[in-house]
Structure 1
Amino acid sequence: MKVPMLDLSEQYQELRSEVLEVLDGVMSSSRFILGDNVKKLEQDVAKYSNVAHGIGCGNGSDAIHIALQALEVGPGDEVITTPFTFFATGGAIVRAGAKPVYVDIDPVTFNIDPDKIEAAITENTKAIIPVHLYGQMADMERIAEIAKKHNLAIVEDAAQAIGAKHNGKSVGELGSAATYSFFPTKNLGAYGDAGMIVTNNDDVAEKSKVIRVHGSKPKYYHSVLGYNSRLDEMQAAILNVKFPHLDRWSELRRQKAETYTHLLKEMVGDAVVTPIEKEGNYHVFHQYTIRVEKRDELQKYLQEQGVSTMIYYPLPLHIQPVFKDLGYKEGDLPISEKAANEALSLPMFPELKTEQQEYVVAKIAEFYGK
Structure 2
Amino acid sequence: MQAAVYEGPFTITVKERPKPIIKDDGDAILKVQLAGLCGSDLHAYRGHQKTTTGHIMGHEFLGVIETVGPAVHKFKVGQKVMSIFSPMCMKCWFCKHGYTNRCQNGPSFGSMALDGGQAEYVRIPFADSTLETIPDNVDDDLMMLMCDIFPTGYYGTMKALTKLMQNTETAENILNFKPLQSAPQLSYTRQQLKDVTIVCLGCGPVGICGVLTAIALGAGTVYAVDSVPDRLEQARNMGAIPLTLGDDDILSIIKTATDGRGADAVVENVGNRAAMRLAFDLVRPCGVISSIGFHQSDLPFDAFEAYSKNIDLNMGRAAVRPVFGEALRILIEHQDKLSSFISHKMPLTEAAKAYDMFEKHQARKVLFTL
Please classify the TM superposition score into its range, dividing by the shorter chain length.
0.3 to 0.5
Larger RCO: Structure 1 or Structure 2 (Cα < 8 Å, ≥ 6 residues apart)? 1
Q: Structure 2 length normalisation: TM-score? A: 0.35
Q: Structure 1 length normalisation: TM-score? A: 0.35
* Higher-strand-fraction structure: 2
